[in-house]
Amino acid sequence: MRGIAPHPYSNDRGPRMDLDKARMLMEFEAIAERDVVCIFSDGHRETIRLRVGKPRPSPSGDWECPVAAEGLYKRLHAIVGVDSWQALKLGLRFLEELLETEVCRGAVELARR
């Protein structure tokens, strides 16, 4: 994580979560993924893999969509919606805004291909 402060939606800090829940958040089959080359403030280049999983029912009755930004955050909470469509749409938007926020705060810069 190259000195980048954890994102507010990341569970990289704070109370330790249940091991089974952590494993579930990290391990999922991606239905879509994209690799993005980022340049960190120290000049280091790294490929970040953005991943979105298949939405699934949550115990609360809503739906959750697992997401990951591998190489940028250790793990992220699943994104919740009222149905599978909304959970998927919000998961994609979340990853887009997360990366945009990191660029805006100067933590990373997107490399031109």
- Whole-number Å distance between alpha carbons of 78 and 38: 23
Q: What is the pLDDT of residue 112?
A: 64
Rounded (5°) CA angle 26-27-31: 110
Retrieve residue 75's tokens: 């793990």
Q: Distance between CA 16 and CA 7 in Å, rounded?
A: 16
pLDDT tens digit sequence for 81-104: 999 999 999 999 999 999 888 888
CB 87 within 8 A of CB 55: yes
Q: Which residue is listed with tokens 């990191």?
A: 102
Higher-confidence residue of 48 and 6: namely 48
- For residue 63, the Cα-to-chain-centroid distance in whole angstroms is 17
pLDDT, tens digit, 9 for 90 and up, residues 22-79: 445 457 889 999 888 888 888 888 888 999 999 999 999 999 999 999 988 888 889 9
